Amino acid sequence: MGARKQVDAPPAEFAEALTQLRDARFRPEVFVEEMPAPQRIAPHAAAVSADVTVDGDDIATGRLVVLYDPAGNDAWQSTFRCVAYVRAAVEPEMVTDALLGGVGWTWLMEALADRDAEFLAPSGTVTRVVSESFGGMADDEATAEIEIRASWSPVPGPGGLVDVTRHAEAWGEVLCTAAGLPPVPPGVVAMPTRRGQRGR
Cβ within 8 Å of residue 130, ≥6 positions away:
92, 95, 142, 143, 144
Q: How confident is the model at residue 197 (pLDDT cuts 50, 70, 90)?
A: very low
**97 falls in which pLDDT band (50, 70, 90)?**
low
Neighbours of 12 (CB within 10 A): 9
The answer to whether 151 touches 124, Cβ cutoff 8 Å, is: yes
CA dist 125 and 144 (Å) reads 17
Task: Read off φ and ψ for residue 105, nearest 5 degrees.
Answer: -70, -35
The DSSP line for 150-183 is: EEEEEPP-TTS---HHHHHHHHHHHHHHHTTPPP
* Segment 46-82, tens digit of pLDDT: 999 999 998 888 899 999 999 999 998 999 999 999 9
Q: What is the CA radius of gyration of the chain?
A: 18
Query: Where does the pLDDT of residue 95 fall: very low under 50, low under 70, confident under 90, or very high at 90 and above?
Result: low
Please state, in angstroms and rounded to a whole number, the distance separating the CA atoms of residues 79 and 72: 4
Phi, psi torsion values for 18, nearest 5 degrees: -65, -40
- Give the pLDDT confidence of 170-186 residue by residue, as tens digits: 999 999 999 989 886 55
Instruction: Please report the pLDDT score of residue 22 as a whole number.
Output: 95
Domain parsing of the chain, residue ranges: 12-179
| Residue 196 reports pLDDT greater than 60 | no
The per-residue pLDDT for 184 is: 67
**Which residues is 126 bridged to in the sheet?**
148
Report the C-alpha gap between 76 and 70 in whole angstroms: 12
- pLDDT higher than 60, residue 2: no
For residue 142, name the pLDDT band (cuts at 50, 70, 90). Answer: low
Alpha helices in 72-163 (DSSP H): 100-114
Q: What pTM did the predictor assign?
A: 0.84
